[in-house]
Structure 1
Amino acid sequence: MRAYVGVLGTPGAWRFLVPGICARLPYAMLQIGTLLLVEWATGSYGWGGLAAAAAAVAQALAAPQTGRLADRHGQRAVLYPQTAVHVAALGALLVAAQTGLTPGWLVALSALAGATMPQVGSMVRARWAHLLPPGSVSTAFAVEAVTDDLMFTLAPIVLIAAATGASPVWALTGALVLVAFGTLMFATVRTGRPAPVPVPSTGGTRVLGLRGVGVVAGALLGVGTVFGALQVAVTSYTEQLGDPGAAGTIYGTFSAGSLVGGLVFGALRLKGKAPRRLAFLMWALSAALLLPPLASSTGPLYAAAGAAGLIVAPALITGYTVLDGLAPAHVKTEAYTWLTGATGMGIATGAALGGQLADRFGPETAFLLPPVTVALAAALVVWRRASLTAPAAPVTETVGLDHSTKFSMNRR
């Protein structure tokens, strides 16, 4: 655990980590929260699913724009107005759900709430990249992957418990309070905050057009489909087996496997090139995802889900590590939000396609979607692996710029 002690012992890190966790819990609540709220208001899971998908897609598309603004104007300058707009949008959705507004308006407000969700997770990663030397960044990304796993495991439990005990309105109201408090507290912390870099007169950098960035985003889009498709496949399969209550704990086993895999992977001092490691992990994940379709009962499905989960977090960590070597310091936040958005788009795509497959051909077919999409993403990484290694000169220049900025910030 020495690697984690070193990273988490970074002076001032806990000052932005704690409010960052508070702000990120609602991030994992929004999609299922809008589904429950709109279904509660309309009596239709169809409209609820459409609202949840609208929130997820809008969030994925808007996240990189938020990251670009944060790189250019600073995190605090973006988070204050964005939090205000998000609170207004989510508040309007809550009011609209109780006043009988038409379902189309509920879907539109859900999309607005998703588009304005503060991207605190990417900003936390940008602070780690700004504070730490390159050799420790991978461990910090492991911390973030484990945090995300915890958020996406705990958030549905907390939200569904609140929705069941009271109503979806009260559940999302709690999420609104958390995101407002956590984001505003995070924005006030100066530790690790990268200095804004104004747009040069020749125009800004098109991050998605940078060497290798699109390839990494494509890889993580493939990983995202695993989350969305497995949720649908496990739910429909356990219902077919006559044990629908097992769905939550089976998916929780998958999340627990990811958490353990991320913790172990982040503590390792691995040699070799990260792009090659990413390709290997993607192929390994695709192979592991062939296990759930072979399960004939819930018992083997627990084991298969846990085994597949062990590789998910290492793949995500490696994706962020590869990107860290490709993106210049002044666009890192935007670069990380492209990966967050790609993963979110993958979750929405996996859920939509998995649902169609489960309805038309049965849950066993839905289980086959993740290994296929991850294998395609692995093939993309292998095909474009040469683009995942940045040229030597720009990397040296970028690292120098990053650390000079860091020392300047420390002196201030």
Structure 2
Amino acid sequence: MGSTVTSTGPAKKTTASARPGYGQLLRTRGAWTFLLPGFAARQPFAMLTLSIVLLVQHTTGSYGSAGATAAVTGVSMALFAPYSGRLADRYGQRAVLLPGVLVHAAAGLTLTALALAHAPLWALFAAAVPTGASVPQIGPMVRARWGVVLKDSPLMTTAAAFESVTDELTFVLGPLVATALCTALAPAAGLITEAALTLVGGLLFATQKRTQPPVAATDGHARVPHSSALRVPGVRVLIVTFLGIGSVFGGMQVSLAAFTESIGRPGLNGVLYGTFAAGNMLSGLVCGAIAWKVAPHHRLVVGYTALALAASSLWTAHSVALLAALGLLVGMCIAPALITGYTLVEGLVEAGARTEAFTWLTGAVALGQAAAVTVAGQLEDHLWGGAGFLVPMAGTVLALLTLLALRSRLAPPPFGRTVARGVGHRSPVAVD
């Protein structure tokens, strides 16, 4: 697929053919040194919630207590992730990862011990907070490392697509592994394995110093003041759009489970959600293989409009076949929006704040998902069957209206100058 990518190291410019491709991307020098440990370290991200639910439900007999404990973990992660990213930008990924994975492993094992000891719910919540807050943000860190090895290469869009597909693969494998461990070995096996993978994978990832993004620039002996990525207007717009994407994930999880339960075929839940995830993965692969001529901020508006329209049709499905088809369509619309959003960060945010920007987006998806799970569950309980599908519709439509109203803030600053308050000049970058 085109000519070979060449790279002479993280500090030098990477060149690529005009036609991006996964073969070129994966031949990028130094990429596998962070991809392999990064893949291992990001698996726990998808295992954590389900492992907690299965363990706490087993020890308490209550899905309510299990869901509440998992929700505390998810909200803590969403709130603390951006600060983890900011610290990584300021002091380096290694400086954040080394203590972070140790804290996470210790907190996860503490939560396991408390659950097995039948501790009161408040004690589980107390352990869930540091467990969620210390989840290592490997996905955003990997994306930031691609920016180092690729610089302004056209392969950046391909890298964003590759990461989106990797995320989807993680969220397919993680729950399967957690379920198998908790049911075949012991209820605590999932959370213990999650802590172990986080520790080992995170430490191996942290040792790859060569591809680590540089810390904030220095001027003599004085460090240039660090500006938060949140001060960039375009990032705030992207956060709202990613909240809408999170509402799709959360609403689909609850509503598909409720639908299959209502028709007496709960086993179809995995098939339907797998179809949704497959659409996401396939469109992500295609999106990354295209040499786009349209600017990313225009692509996002078009892609998000398609997502809102597809999500708005879910509540009309009354058969398994139709719901599977609509779920596949929604999944196919999500990946382009995610990929384009992450690609926009490269043109909106200075290099010294990109890890933080990525974590804001990742946290927005997690927060939108947590809120959607809660609201969709209430709608399914108190309204009609399928009412939970209104959540993806409402979330994406509201986000689309915000995107349309503020889309000008997503355009790259002219001549490589960031116009947001507190963000300095930077060199021009290719955005398409």
TM-score strictly above 0.5: yes
Whether 1:359 and 2:419 are equivalent positions in the alignment is no
**Residue of structure 2 in register with 1:101 after alignment:** 119
**Which whole-Å deviations, capped at 9, do the CAs of 1:131-189 have from their partners, x for residues lacking one?**
11432211101000000000011111110111111222111111111111111101111
Q: Is the 8 A contact 2:242 2:365 kept in 1?
A: yes
Gaps of 5+ in 1: 403-412
Q: Figure out how many residues of one structure are paired with residues of the other and give that number.
A: 402
Whether 1:43 and 2:71 are equivalent positions in the alignment is no
Secondary structure in 2 matching 1:86 = helix
**Which whole-Å deviations, capped at 9, do the CAs of 1:77-116 have from their partners, x for residues lacking one?**
1110111111110111111111121111112211210100
**Residue of structure 1 in register with 2:311 after alignment:** 289
Q: Is the 8 A contact 2:217 2:224 kept in 1?
A: no
Q: Is the 8 A contact 2:256 2:273 kept in 1?
A: yes
Task: Tell me which of 166, 170, 178 is aligned to 2:189.
Answer: 170
Displacement of 1:398 = 2.5
**Residue of structure 1 in register with 2:6 after alignment:** none
Displacement of 1:201 = 6.4
**Which whole-Å deviations, capped at 9, do the CAs of 1:271-320 have from their partners, x for residues lacking one?**
12211111111110111123332222212211111111111111100111
Task: Tell me which of 107, 122, 138 is aligned to 1:89.
Answer: 107
Q: Is the 8 A contact 1:285 1:371 kept in 2?
A: no
Task: Tell me which of 258, 262, 279 is aligned to 1:257.
Answer: 279
**Residue of structure 1 in register with 2:5 after alignment:** none
Whether 1:72 and 2:90 are equivalent positions in the alignment is yes
Task: Tell me which of 112, 135, 139 is aligned to 1:121.
Answer: 139
**Cα distance in 1 between the residues matched to 2:226 and 2:345:** 19
Identity within the alignment, % = 41
Secondary structure in 1 matching 2:233 = coil
Task: Tell me which of 381, 396, 421 is aligned to 1:374.
Answer: 396
Secondary structure in 2 matching 1:168 = coil
Secondary structure in 1 matching 2:265 = coil
**Residue of structure 2 in register with 1:406 after alignment:** none
**Residue of structure 2 in register with 1:268 after alignment:** 290
Structure with bigger helix share is: 1
Q: Is the 8 A contact 1:86 1:113 kept in 2?
A: yes
Q: Is the 8 A contact 2:54 2:187 kept in 1?
A: yes
**Residue of structure 2 in register with 1:152 after alignment:** 171
**Which whole-Å deviations, capped at 9, do the CAs of 1:340-398 have from their partners, x for residues lacking one?**
10011011011111111111112321112212211111111111111111322344953
**Cα distance in 2 between the residues matched to 1:222 and 1:284:** 13
Q: Is the 8 A contact 2:246 2:369 kept in 1?
A: yes
Deviates more, 1:190-199 or 1:79-88: 190-199
Q: Is the 8 A contact 2:89 2:354 kept in 1?
A: yes
**Residue of structure 2 in register with 1:11 after alignment:** 29
Q: Which runs of 4+ in 1 moved over 3 A?
A: 198-203, 393-397, 399-402
Question: What is the root-mean-square deviation in Å for CA atoms of aligned residues?
Answer: 1.7
Q: Is the 8 A contact 1:34 1:110 kept in 2?
A: no
Where do 1:13-412 residues align within 5 Å? 13-134=31-152, 135-197=154-216, 203-395=225-417, 397-399=425-427
**Cα distance in 2 between the residues matched to 1:58 and 1:37:** 19
Displacement of 1:330 = 0.7
Secondary structure in 2 matching 1:363 = coil
**Residue of structure 1 in register with 2:421 after alignment:** none
Question: Aligned letter for 2:403?
Answer: V
Question: Aligned letter for 1:166?
Answer: L
Displacement of 1:258 = 0.2
**Cα distance in 1 between the residues matched to 2:428 and 2:386:** 51
TM-score, structure 1 normalization: 0.94
TM-score, structure 2 normalization: 0.90
Instruction: From the superposition, tell whether residues 165 and 26 of structure 1 become closer, same or farther in structure 2 (CA, over 3 Å).
Output: same
Q: Is the 8 A contact 2:303 2:333 kept in 1?
A: yes
**Cα distance in 2 between the residues matched to 1:364 and 1:186:** 42
